Structure 1
């Protein structure tokens, strides 16, 4: 069954992939790789952006 997705715009900078884990190439003491978790600065890791406020021009 498809899940219901809210109608929010996807972040234009990360295209919805807001978090990435990057390996540094070094290893910890237990032998696992050291990773850095990087979060999109535009959407703060949500993958969505807030809709723009409606523009109203006064006369």
Structure 2
């Protein structure tokens, strides 16, 4: 069966993978790695962008 298109589009900057875990190279005392969670600045971590007609303009 065909899948229906959704109202929101996937962010073209992050391709829907809005948050990335980046290792710093150092380790905690228990041996796990220190990671930083970074969100996509274009979609602010949602993975989706608003349709063109819904974007807010003005003040």
Q: How many pairs are equivalent?
A: 52
Q: How much is the aligned-residue C-alpha RMSD, in angstroms?
A: 2.1
Bigger strand fraction: 2
What does residue 9 of structure 2 align with?
9
Structure 1 stretches lacking a partner, 5+ long: 55-59
Of the two, which has the highest radius of gyration? 1
* 4+ residue runs over 3 A deviation: none
Which has the larger share of helix?
A: 2
TM-score by length of 1: 0.74
**1:15-59 superposed Cα distances (whole Å, 9 cap, x missing partner):** 1000110111100122210001010001011100011127xxxxx
Question: Any stretches of 5+ residues in structure 2 without a counterpart?
Answer: 55-59
